Structure 1
């Protein structure tokens, strides 16, 4: 009931619970969440929570299993800890700057593929159109999952060779997954090959690539060709 649909109500309920618990534990941290009106207070502190209460809304609405909670801590622009939890699968991915990336407590490793051609990449059809690739659209096998955070975790555990999105990406969708994928051996940058910066004023990245080193270098070259 009310003015919000059930998904928004679920988003808000999860957001409120997480904010209450996390900010009580670390009141000096800032807060950046999809479901909290943003303000500049977070820019004045060194450390922030970056949270997406429910990532993969369409999957959640459809009763599918591939939606996730995404929680990260960023310190001076870098993510230092991240958790992505998929309740319907009871699957959890974790990493920190001092701990190995894990899925359900078992160490994970990104794909070792050395070529972009033929790689199995999590992305949307809209990302693979010629106008986005001045150096030529790579021939890949395209796969998809609704949650951006989950896509990054699947790249981190090597079930796919990587993921990419060429749309602007909100920090709360990618913060936890970026650290998990990077710690697992993927190269994680924006679409121009630049490092991701978190707790930025606009809270967005210019696309995201999470790929093994060789395919990443080729993707950046194709995306930035003159």
Structure 2
């Protein structure tokens, strides 16, 4: 099984495990989110350490091992991206499995278990036609001021949504054209979505136009822009 197949397989299996945990009906809300995180993380980390023992590993749910900084290949995972949405039994949450190579988001898969979908770097599909009026995905609970300002200037329709992975995959799937985030994230929030978006031919960058670089000592990532190439220059100019 090559790296892309492994990423997709692990994301899919973790998603099924999470659906099973939720379907048990034993837990709800924050307790359900915690149980889901722990279950998916245990599976993913064990599988990656078994299948790719020489690679580095960074997970939201594991204590960071800085030995990864000496590795060229580092798996970056988010067992449940959108724990709140998962606990609320919504569909806008995701599982992220990515491989960064020399800091670049090269390979990855994003599972959307609530929608029975998995998007992966080795099976990109053609992008849908780009509409004249853009749609912008924003946080359903705390949309960033910068995103709201840009949306107003380009007359974009706002689409509130949960997890970062769900928002990024909305662009990949053709359900929106722009995902602009300035509220701060971490490497696991965007590595797999960035890898998939790049494979599909989308624009992926920081809001100053610089590339997204992963496997850093400080895993905080202040901002990102994932959008249709047709909108990249315009959005970046409004943020400069």
Q: TM-score, normalised by structure 2?
A: 0.79
Q: Distance in 2 between matches of 1:131 and 1:62?
A: 26
Superposed CA deviations along residues 27-56 of structure 1, whole A, max 9, x for unmatched, are 011111110011311101111110000011
1:93 matches 2:108: no
Aligned ranges for residues 150-161 of structure 1 at < 5 Å?
150-161=166-177
Q: Is the 8 A contact 1:54 1:67 kept in 2?
A: yes
Residues paired across the two proteins, number: 209
Bigger shift: residues 207-216 or 124-133: 124-133
Give unpaired runs (5+ residues) of structure 2.
1-26
Q: Give the superposed CA RMSD.
A: 2.3
1:126 matches 2:134: no
Q: How far apart are 1:110 and its partner, in Å? A: 5.7
| Residue 192 (structure 2) aligned to one of 165, 176, 181 | 176
1:206 matches 2:222: yes
Q: Is the 8 A contact 2:147 2:181 kept in 1?
A: no
Superposed CA deviations along residues 114-136 of structure 1, whole A, max 9, x for unmatched, are x7xx3101123632459976xx8
Q: Specify the SS of the correspondent of 1:202.
A: coil
Higher helix share: 2
Partner of residue 238, structure 2: 222
Give unpaired runs (5+ residues) of structure 1.
102-106
Aligned ranges for residues 50-69 of structure 1 at < 5 Å?
50-69=76-95
Q: Specify the SS of the correspondent of 1:123.
A: strand
CA 6–130 in structure 1, closer or farther in 2 if over 3 Å, else same: closer
Q: TM-score, normalised by structure 1?
A: 0.84
1:112 matches 2:130: yes
Q: Is the 8 A contact 1:156 1:182 kept in 2?
A: no
CA 13–197 in structure 1, closer or farther in 2 if over 3 Å, else same: same
| Residue 79 (structure 1) aligned to one of 66, 88, 105 | 105
Q: Specify the SS of the correspondent of 2:114.
A: coil
Q: Is the 8 A contact 2:146 2:182 kept in 1?
A: no
Bigger shift: residues 76-85 or 203-212: 203-212
Q: Specify the SS of the correspondent of 2:215.
A: coil
Bigger shift: residues 50-59 or 81-90: 81-90
